[in-house]
Amino acid sequence: MRRLSEISTRFKVIDVIVNLFLSFVLAVIKVGRKLFINHSDKILVVAFHKLGDSIFSSYAIREIVNYYGNENVKIVCDREYEILFKEIFPSVELVLISREDFLWNGRIANRRIRKAISSNKYKIVFDLTGSILSCSLLIGVTAKKIVGMNLRHLKNFYDKYIPSRAIPHLTDRYLDIVELEIKINRDKIKREYDLNLNSVGEILIHPFAGWKAKEWNLSKFIQLAEKIKVEYRVKIIFFKNTISEDIINEMNYLKINHMSFNSVSELMSAVKGASLLISNDSGPIYLADYFGVPTLSIYGPTNPEFSMPLSKHHDFIQKKINCSPKKNEQYCFTDGGYYCPSYECMNQLTVDEVYNLSSSILDKFGIKKIEQVN
C-alpha cells in the first residue's frame, strides 16, 4: 500500500509539473501572437467538425457573420463538408482542411496547414472546435484575441475562454463562445427549420452513427424496411463500403431498395427529396432537419435533450432503462456506450415499436402510399 501511495504521489507531482509547463508555453504563445499585429478587420472561425456539429455550430457562425459581415469572415471547415458550408454561408470564404492535415493520430496540425492558416492577420479568432487539434492549428496565428472553449488545461491559450457547458442544447455550446465577444439575444435566434414536405418521396433509412453503441442494429433496420415497404417506397442509404456484400445480397433478395453514396454531396441530394428520414442519433438526421424533411431518430446511450433537432417535424424514440442518461447528462455512465458490454437500451427496443411510431408519423404528414403514388 505504501508503494502504491508513493507512485500515486509521484504521478500527481508529474501532472502538476506538466500542467505548469504547458501553462507557461501557452502563455508565451499568447503573447507572441500579438507582437506583430497590425490593424485587421478579418475574423477567423474554426469550425472543423463532423456533420452533426457542423450544423449545430451554424447558428453561432451565423451570429458572427451577421455582426462582422460576409466579407470579413473566414471559416475553417472540413473539406468533406465544403458543399454544406457553401449551402449555409454562400458568400463567406472557406478555408478547407482535412484529417490528413494532422499528425499524431490526427491530433496535431502539420506545418503546411498551420502556415496556410497563419498567412493572414486577424482581429478575432473564434475557436468553435475546442480541442488540442484546433489549438495546434492556431499556433503561429497573429491575432488580437482568440476566444473559445477547450479542455481546462488548455485555457491559457485563449484570451477569452469558457469551459464546455454540461447542460442542453449542443447548439448553445457554440453560442456561449460567440457571447464572449458579441451580445446576442438567444430568444430571437431561429433554431427551427421550416417544414419542406415531399409527400410522394421515399422513406429513407440510414442505419449508422458516429460510434457503435448509438446504432440500433442493422438487421433491425432491414426488418423495419421490410415492414414499411409493404405500403410505402423505402430505401436504405449508406456510405460506400459500410455494408458488407453479403448483407447487400440479402437486401437484394428481400427486394429492399438501397443506395450507397461516396460523398456528402450525394447524401444531401438524396435527403432533400425524401418524405421521412429514419436513423440513429447521427449527422444525416440534422442534415434532413436543415432541409425541412421530417425525421425520426433512435436514441440509446445519448440524451435527446442535448442533440435532438429543434424543429417541430422531428420525432424520436428511446428505450429508457436504469442506466439511460439522466436529466442534464449527455451520456449514460458508460460514456455514451463506449464502455458498455451489452447495449441493452438499443437491444431492448423492438422493430414493432419503431414501426408503429414510423406509421403514425407517416399518417401525420400525409405521406402517400405506393398505391396512391402510382
Fold agreement between 33-188 and 203-368: yes
| One CATH from 3.40.50.2000, 3.30.43.10, 3.10.180.10, 3.40.50.11270 for 203-368 | 3.40.50.2000
What one-character DSSP code corresponds to residue 75? Answer: E
Q: Tens-digit pLDDT profile for the chain (374 aa)?
A: 445 454 445 544 444 444 454 455 555 555 666 665 566 899 999 999 999 999 999 999 999 999 999 999 999 999 999 999 999 999 999 999 999 999 988 889 999 999 989 888 899 999 999 999 999 999 888 899 999 999 888 898 999 999 999 999 999 999 999 999 999 999 999 999 999 999 999 999 999 999 999 999 999 999 999 999 999 999 999 999 999 999 999 999 999 999 999 999 999 999 999 999 999 999 999 999 999 999 999 999 999 999 999 999 999 999 999 999 999 999 999 999 999 999 999 999 999 999 999 999 999 999 999 988 76
The per-residue pLDDT for range 55-66, each reduced to its tens digit, is 999 999 999 999
Q: In terms of DSSP bridges, do strands 203-206 and 160-161 run parallel, antiparallel, or are they unpaired?
A: unpaired
**Distance from the Cα of residue 284 to its chain's centroid:** 10
The residues spanned by each domain of the chain are 33-188, 203-368
In words, the CATH class of domain 33-188 is alpha beta
Residue 84 to residues 94, 189, 297, 364, Cα–Cα distance (Å): 11, 20, 21, 29
